[in-house]
Each structure stands twice: as C-alpha cells, then as structure tokens.
Structure 1
Amino acid sequence: MTGRLVAGLGLRPGTSEADILACLDEALAIAGLSGEGTPRLATLSSRIGEPGLAAAAASREAEIVFVPDEALKGFEAACATRSTRIASLYGVGSVAEAAALAAAGPGGTLVQPRITTARVTCALARAAL
C-alpha cells in the first residue's frame, strides 16, 4: 500500500476524545490496519474548536483537516454508504467517507467505508502518493 492513511470523521458536538479514538481504532481493526498511523484526520469545518477532536489529534500526533460542507458534495459518487439524514443536511451520503477522500487528495481511495458508533462515524482513505 502506498500513500498516507486518512481518517474521515463525522461526530456530534461535544464528542469525547475517548469516543473518537475508539471509533478510529475499530475502523483500523476492521480494515486490517491496526497499529498503522493516521497522520491526518478530516471532518466538517463546523467541528473546528471541538475539544475532543483536538485532543484525539494531539494524542495521535495527527493533523486535522477541516473540510467545508460544500466541498463534501464533490465526493458523493465515491461514497460507499448513504445516510438519508446526512444527505439532507450536507448533500453527501457519508460525511466520514467524503471527508476522508477530500483530505486524501486527488487519486485518494476509500479503503474502509464508514463505521458507526453512538457519537462518531469513521471511514479510512489512502492518499495516492
């Protein structure tokens, strides 16, 4: 596998670091990537300032990429899953998948469709380079 791994996250306001990391670790395990670093976390721009997200990124030494809502729409066709509620809010079937792909950059590929826990969704993409 080439290119860095990116975790796309969908999270509710006020979500804790522990909840975010648990979902991320579960996604990595399902994808057979346990122990692989995720140097980039991506989510909605509206989640800027979320303390749980900042703490999760700091604990994993990861960069956070905040993707504008409008930019997610360009990744609708590449999303493997679809939530009707999320589609009505953001115009894309999965915030986690679209954010992961957006942050992976051109040629990025989805390697793990979103998984869902009570407060977090997580999907994994790999950058082309």
Structure 2
Amino acid sequence: MRVAGIGFRSAASLASLTDALDRAGPADALATSTAKAQAPVIAALARARGLPLIGVKVAGIPTPTQSARVIAMHGTGSLAEAAALAALGPGARIVTPRTVSQDGMATAAIAEGDPA
C-alpha cells in the first residue's frame, strides 16, 4: 500500500495540496496530523481524489528530511514524511521524500508498507 503524507500551511488552497500530491506521485490513501485532518482543505482533497484520509500522531517519528520550523511546530522533521510513515506503521519506508508545492504552501511524501 502507498500512503501520501500531506503537510500544509493554514492558508494553503486545494490547488496547493493537489500540486504537492501530483509532484509526489500516486497513493492509495492520504495521511496528515490528527489536528490537520480536521481542515476542510484536506477533506476536499480526499473527496476529489476518492481516497481515505487518515489522521495520525506525528511527534517523535524520525524522518529523512529535517526542517527546524516543522520540528518546533510538530515534533518531527517533516510532517508529510512522518504522517505517511505513521499511517503504515512498523516496516514502512519512504519511497518519495518530501516534495513541495510550487507555491511552497504544501508538502507531500509517499511511503510504502502494510497498513498498521
């Protein structure tokens, strides 16, 4: 299974999230932090793509990409990478590292593995 982890700023548009996901590649589900899973923009992305949306805890999950800003805000180096890994659980691996939308408002990363 392939899960796309999605990170985004509060002002991100559906176009921003779509661009980040398109840059990362195809997925069977979307994942983001539990708090961000409540945002209308990610719900709209899930509906538009016909994909399930999984809210996960991301703090403390090691990621290949490291952002000081994201570490301070979310307790992990990349919200997108951490969400993708957390949704799949142990044994998951990043196959597409964090990609950034053209406008810099959203990120996406793809992990593969068996669902948690």
Report the TM-score range of the alignment, normalised by the length of the smaller protein.
0.7 to 0.9
**Structure 2: where are the runs of 5+ without partners?**
none
Superposition TM-score, scaled by structure 1 size: 0.80
Quick one: which of 94, 107, 113 aligns to 2:78?
A: 94
Bigger-Rg structure (1/2): 1
How many aligned residue pairs are there? 113
Quick one: which of 51, 56, 61 aligns to 1:67?
A: 56
Shift of the alpha carbon at 1:72? 3.1
1:112 pairs with 2:101: no
Quick one: which of 1, 14, 19 aligns to 1:17?
A: 14
> Structure 1 or 2: larger helix share?
1
Separation in 2, partners of 1:93, 1:115: 13
**Secondary structure at 1:48's aligned position in 2?**
helix
**Secondary structure at 1:43's aligned position in 2?**
strand
Superposition TM-score, scaled by structure 2 size: 0.88
Identity of aligned residues (%): 37
Runs of 4+ in 1 over 6 A off after TM superposition: none
Tell me the equivalent position of 2:36.
Answer: 47
Task: Give the superposed CA RMSD.
Answer: 1.5
Separation in 2, partners of 1:48, 1:98: 14
Tell me the equivalent position of 1:32.
Answer: none
Quick one: which of 40, 52, 56 aligns to 2:45?
A: 56
**Secondary structure at 2:59's aligned position in 1?**
helix
Quick one: which of 58, 62, 65 aligns to 1:81?
A: 65
- CA change 1:49–1:128 in 2 (3 A) is closer
**Structure 1: where are the runs of 5+ without partners?**
29-35
**Secondary structure at 2:95's aligned position in 1?**
strand
Shift of the alpha carbon at 1:24? 0.4
